[in-house]
Every structure is written in structure tokens, then in C-alpha cells.
A and B are shown apart, each in its own frame.
Chain A
Amino acid sequence: MLLNGIHIENTYAEAFDMKATRLIVTADTLAWARHAGMAATGFATSVIACGCESGIERELAPEETPDGRPGVSLLFFATGRSVLGKQVETRLGQCILTCPGTACFSGVPRGAKEDLIPMGRKLRYFGDGQQMSKLVGGRRYWRIPVMDGEFLCEESSWSVPAVGGGNLLILADARMAALEAAEAAADAMRAVPNVVLPFPGGVVRSGSKVGAKYKGMPASTNDAYCPTLRGLPRSRLPAEVESVLEIVIDGLTAADVAAATTAGLKCLIERGRGSGVWGVTAGNYGGKLGRHHFHLHELLP
């Protein structure tokens, strides 16, 4: 299919069931909330080696946060509830507790006991007996004395079902054209609520396939989309494509991932062939690994 000069391949992105949670981090200024958010969601691009995938969902105005200060909302995705709990615990303790002036709250509705993600429940022991708990409006918070005052942290959050691994591959004439298109598309996709783009700037250049010729490598470079190999028979790239970038999407529901995919497609199609983008495709593993399939032709704007 050719839209505004851009090839939209008739394929689908394959995504997986995950567990997710949302944390609200507030601080005295938005800049400090962002510092905490950046650190807590750092080194969280792929569950392959990071344990979780996460990102800053959006920035929050003071009137949107529980304590009336500016903040950020963070989404964390992992393969299961217990690994998600571990990741949240360590990131909360090392990146949010440590950041000046922050407070941290759960950003999801109260869930079932088996979905519990401990926050202050574990972190309170840092208070060495001087911590205090407060039950406000039916939710428990911990107040942990720290050197700049008090760290306020909700007792727990809850995991919710989520979808991870939605993606778009942008095929462009040149590296800079691919980069500019990916930047624009990532900006458009980030505006969709309930999703994060976990890779640096939302963009991946090293898309992977499952398996490798070497033992012990679970994944290796997606050689079918590497332009330097486009003369090989297995290449999926036409001669004019010189650079490919991927945008990976994690969302709380399949509908959120679909909405982000549509937003990305809309942005790329509106920019048109003149922007140097040759086409858009998506990554899948034959449909056998992930339950969720996002067909590009069904998600066109």
C-alpha cells in the first residue's frame, strides 16, 4: 500500500503480555522530579538484560499530583509481577529515595493482594526505626527521615496487565532522514497516554531477531533489515533504503499500543515521501510468540 508516497507493508507487530505499574514521583520543582524519573527509568530499555522496560509517561502539573507538587509519572513493564516488584524496589531505593525533595506514590488503582508491588513497605526499613506510617484517605504512606527532611512514599503499588513490544520500523533513504522521521514519530507517539517508548529517545537502531549462530546468544542483529547487508538474499530492504530505525511501544492495554502505532503512522504519512522515508513495516516472529498482533493496515489513521 502506498500512502502519500510511503510504502506501508501489509504486516503486523507482534507484542507480548507483560505486567506493569505506574509510579508518580513529585519534587519541589519539575526539574528535580525529572531527574528522579530519568534515573529510575534508566537502563530499562529491554527485558532481555535490564530486568524491566520503563520510561517517563508524562509530566504532571501540581494539581494532578497527590501532594500538590510538580511531578512525573513513570511506567515500568516486566515479564511478571515478582520481577517487576524487585525492579521497582531497587530503582525506588537507589534512584528516587536518593533524589532531593522527592516523594513517591502509586499511580494505579488499588488492586488484589497477589498483585502487590512493595514500595514503602520494603523501603521503610531504611528509616532504621525512625520511620512513621500515616494512613490518609485509606492509603498508607511511610515517612522516612532523610538528610534533606522527609521522604514520603506510599506503602505499595499494584501490578496491572500490560502489553509490551509493539513496534514500527521506519525505512528511509538516508540515516539523517530516518533519524528525523523517528524523532517526529516518537514525539507523536509519546503524546498517547498509558504508553512509554523504553529505548533512548524512544528509538532503537539495533533491532534484533531471535537466536544467533553463536551458542548462548538469545538474540542477534536483525540482518534482514541491515542496510550494509542489503545485497544478501535474506535482506528485506529495497535498494534505495539506506537506514532503518525502530520504535518500540509498551502500553497498559492493547488499545493503547494500537493508538500509539496509529499516532506514529499518522505522523510518518503526513510527513510524506519528501521527508526521505521510503516505507514503514513492523517486526514479528511469525505470530507464534506473542498474543497481540498489531496489523499496520488496520491501524492506519
Chain B
Amino acid sequence: MSMLSFRLKGPLTGRVDASPLLPHRLAAMDLTEIAALPLRLGRGRIAVGDLFDLSGSPGDTVELEGDERLDFVGAGLSGGTIRVAGPVGHRAGTGMSGGSLVVEGSAGLAAGAAMRGGVLTIAGDAGNELGGALPGERAGMTGGRILVRGSCGDRVGERMRRGLIAVGGDAGAYAALHMNAGSLLIGGRPGAATGHGMRNGTVLFRGEIDALPGFADCGLNQLPFLSLLDNHLSELDWVPPSCRGLTGRARRWLGDRGFGGRGELLSCL
């Protein structure tokens, strides 16, 4: 397995669009061609070779030194692996349809937005709109898996239609906003207005919640699919431990009935 590494030459002077640095796009190029690739830096452009030291050989893995101003890392990824040592900026893994993006630090806004497939792993925290929808789009995430060890900001899983998001820590306000389907696991505490406008889908969390008035409290239930989900999670890498150990017993709220929805909020024991 060949790996191509990008080391930053120095501090970034503006925000960089790193979306061209996808393994399958670089695989057919040699190092000089890659070094000549233009990247957007602020309002201008810069060659890859002026920004990064390149080493290794192009293949199915790209290793990237991270920076909070490095945006669109792994956006549109369809195969292969991108491993980022450090944080990433906004929109990491946006619209990715396959492959694996591993961020060993934190991620900015809209990580994994409109994702269709593949796996996005974030070892730190994620910002607002994690696994959310692109502006104006009716559907957010439609497939794949997002695993966050830390916490996430507001509106995680907005308009989500399919797939799995697991957040190890707390979630911000309006989690699963207008969710259509899919599963959102919150290992910590859910924020205010969780599930607002939800039509279908499942939000799992621990502990108590002050559910919105649109949610009907269905009390404690034994749900066999939770053990199935837990079994599935046990087979995956990087699942936050706080999202594991589902006993199958959960308090269930059904809603958001104000929107004709029949999604569920599950407080898992």
C-alpha cells in the first residue's frame, strides 16, 4: 500500500481549499505534477508544492498535516483513505461517497455534510452542522457513517435521510433538525430542541431530556433492535465507548407530531 504525505511548510496565511487532494485524483500523477497542482488560498491560488513538502508515492492513502484553516479536506472523497494529523477547517468530508477520512484532531463547520457513503472519523470535537445539509438542499446525509470521539455543535444530522452518526460527547441545540430517517447516537447530553421538525429516524442518547411539546412520551420500552445496533457497533472501529452498551431498554418519545412526524427520541438505559 503506497502512501503520499503532505507536510505543511509553514503557517497558513489564509484559508485553503484542500478538496483536490483526494487519493484517487492523485494516484495517476507523479510528485512533480502534484506539486504543481493549484490550490485556492484565500482569494488567490497557490501551488501544492509551495504549501506542502511532499513525500511517499501516490496510491490509495493520503496523509495530511492538519490545520484549522485547511477547508474541504476529503470533500467528494469516493475511495481510499485520507488521514489528517491534527485539526481540519470547515466542510471536511462534504459530499463524500466512499472511502475513509480520519481526522486526528477537531473539525470545523459542516463536517460530513451531505455525505452519501464512506466513513468519517473525528478524534476531537466537531463544529456546527456535523453531518448536516448543504444550504438549500432538502436532504442532508444520505449514507455512510460519522464517528466523533468528542462533542459536536448545533444542528447535527440536519435533514438526515440515511446513515449513522455517533457522537461520543454532548450535542448542541437542534440536533436532528428536520431529520427524515437514519440514526443519531449521542453518548453525552443532547442539547435544547433536539428533534425539532423530525419526520422519521432515531436519536439515541443517555440520561434525561426535556423533550419538545411535539413529542409524545411513550414511556419505557424493550426494543430488540437496540441489541442488534449494539452488536453492529461492536464490529466497527472508532465507535465512541459512550455510545456502546445499549441494553435494549429505552424511554421513547414519538414525534415531532407538530410536523406530522413519527421519529423517535430514545433515552437509553
Q: Which residues of A contact B (CB under 8 A)?
A: 66-69, 103, 129-130, 132-137, 141, 143, 149-150, 152
Contacts and interface: CB of A to CB of B under 8 A. Distances in A.
Contacts of A134: 183, 202, 225, 229
A68 B231 contact: yes
Interface residues of B, number: 18
Contacts of B229: 134, 136
Given A130-B262, A132-B200, A132-B264, A137 B224 contact: no
B227 A69 contact: yes
B131 to A, nearest CB: 15
Given A130-B262, A149-B221, A136 B227 contact: no
22 contacts: A66-B231, A67-B225, A67-B227, A67-B228, A67-B231, A69-B224, A103-B224, A130-B262, A132-B200, A132-B202, A132-B262, A134-B183, A135-B162, A136-B225, A136-B229, A136-B232, A143-B225, A149-B223, A149-B224, A150-B223, A150-B224, A150-B225
Given A132-B264, A134-B202, A135-B162, A152 B232 contact: no
Contacts of A68: 227, 231
Contacts of A141: 225, 228
Main DSSP-derived SS at the A contact region: strand
Nearest to A68: B227
A152 B231 contact: no
B46 to A, nearest CB: 41
Contacts of B221: 149-150
A141 B183 CA distance: 13
The 4 closest A-B pairs by CB, nearest first: A152-B224, A137-B232, A67-B227, A67-B228
B222 interface: yes
Interface string B168-202: 00000000000001010000000000000000101
Residue of A69, A130, A133, A135 most packed against chain B (CB within 10 A): A135
Contact of A137 (B200, B222, B235): B235
A137 B225 CA distance: 12
Given A68-B227, A136-B229, A149-B222, 7 more contacts: A67-B231, A130-B262, A132-B202, A137-B232, A141-B225, A149-B221, A152-B228
Contacts of B228: 66-67, 136, 141, 152
Interface in B131-187: 162, 181, 183
Residue of B202, B225, B228 most packed against chain A (CB within 10 A): B228
A103 B227 CA distance: 12
B50 to A, nearest CB: 43
A152 B224 CA distance: 7
Contacts of A149: 221-224
A78 B190 CA distance: 51
Nearest to B262: A130
A132 B232 CA distance: 18
A136 B182 CA distance: 10
Interface in B196-245: 200, 202, 221-225, 227-229, 231-232, 235
Nearest to A66: B228
Contacts of A135: 162
Contacts of B231: 66-68
A149 B264 CA distance: 15
A197 to B, nearest CB: 31
A67 B224 contact: yes
A152 B181 CA distance: 17
A275 to B, nearest CB: 46
B255 to A, nearest CB: 13
A143 B202 CA distance: 12
Nearest to A103: B224
Nearest to B236: A137
Contacts of B262: 129-130, 132
